[in-house]
Structures are given as structure tokens and as C-alpha cells.
Amino acid sequence: MNKTKFDPTILIVIGSAVVMIALAGFTSAYAARKSSHYLSQIVDGAMQAPVRKSAWTTLRDGRILGRAVPGKGLAAYVVVARRTGKEYRAIASVDADGSVKKVYPLVSDSDSAFMRRLGVLFDRISQGRAGTDLSPLDSAIEPLIVDMLETITSLERARMEVLDGDR
């Protein structure tokens, strides 16, 4: 009768793989926590309110990276718009109905005319202000900004509905 020998190598390999996966999972969770802390600090720093002590939530909904909600005060959304390697980042503080109260620019690639104009229009349209200067880029940029503002509004309203439901 043939007796198949048990090979312990496969168990060692599987054990090593499980340890490596667990280590990767732990590292990923740690990095996510640190990243949230860093991003909420960025928001609080830019809004010049270190006492906010916001809690960060990563959303990744279109051009909305995430949301920083303080214990007391207005929620803020971080917007990241990218185009051909260039980037525009800003913080938009919103009131309870989701309309943008103020825009705090973080980074804008100043060598890109598109990003410069995006910054100007995002600030202007979100505040509902009219401007006299026009650019041929406006027709391409305005739909992006409208989309960003609508996304922020719907996210904030959804958050408020959940909060109201909890009360």
C-alpha cells in the first residue's frame, strides 16, 4: 500500500503568506489613520482654527477627496482637481444645507492656465459672485465646478439627513 508523505513545506509557505498579509493589513490601517490625521490637520490649519479638531472621512466621490467635520462648527470638504499632471486643491467650508460658505485654496499649479482659472472660477461661482473678466477656458471649466458644488451639496445633505435620523 502506497502511503503519501505529508509535506510540511506548504504549511510553512501558507503560514508565511498569512503573516505577510496580516502585516500588510496592519501597515495599511496605520497609514490610513495617519493620513486622516494629517488631512484633518491640514484643513484645521488652513481654516486657522486648530481648536476645531476635525474628524476626517475619506469620500473619493468625483473630485471630492474627503470631509473634515469638527465637533462644533462648519464641515469642510477637500477638493482635488487633476488635469494632465497638474493639480488644484482647495478646502470648501459648507453650511448645513450644503452651500459653500468660503473657499481656502491649498495648492494650485500656477504654470497651468487651466488650473489658475479653475481656482478663480471655483472661488467666484461658489460664492455666487459675478466677475467681469472672461476667458475662453470658462466654458470648459464651469461644468466641472458646477459638478463639484453639486457633489458637495449632495454629500453634505446626505450627512445631515443621517445626523437628523440619528437624533
Partner 1 sequence: MEIVENSARNRSWAALAGLAPLLVFSNGLSIGLVLGVTFLVAHSAAAAVALLLPVRLGRSYTFFFSVLAAAVTVSMAASVVRLLDPFLFETAYRSMFLVTLTIPVLGASVMPVSMEEREHAIEDLVRGLGFALAIMSLGAVREFLSSGIISVNSRAPSSSLLPFAAQPAGAFIIIGLVAAGFRAIMRAAKRSEP
User: Contact residues for partner 1 (CB under 8 A)?
Assistant: 7, 9-10, 13, 17, 20-21, 23-24, 27-28, 30-32, 34-35, 38-39, 60, 65, 80, 82, 84-87, 89, 107, 109-112
Q: Which is nearer to partner 1, 14 or 96 (CB)?
A: 14
Q: Which is nearer to partner 1, 136 or 165 (CB)?
A: 136
Output the CA–CA distances (angstroms, integers) from residue 80 to 9, 23, 24, 118, in the order listed: 48, 31, 27, 11
CB of residue 162 to partner 1, shortest distance in Å: 24
Residue 51: DSSP 8-state: G
Pairing of strands 64-69, 75-83: antiparallel
Pairing of strands 55-61, 64-69: antiparallel
For 65, phi then psi, to 5°, come to -75, -45
Q: Which is nearer to partner 1, 86 or 124 (CB)?
A: 86
Burial of 145 (C-beta count, 10 Å sphere; 0-12/13-18/19+): buried
Q: Which is nearer to partner 1, 83 or 124 (CB)?
A: 83
For 23, phi then psi, to 5°, come to -65, -40
CB of residue 104 to partner 1, shortest distance in Å: 15
Q: Which is nearer to partner 1, 39 or 74 (CB)?
A: 39
CB of residue 126 to partner 1, shortest distance in Å: 21
CB of residue 115 to partner 1, shortest distance in Å: 10
CB of residue 38 to partner 1, shortest distance in Å: 6
The three cell numbers locating residue 129: 459672485
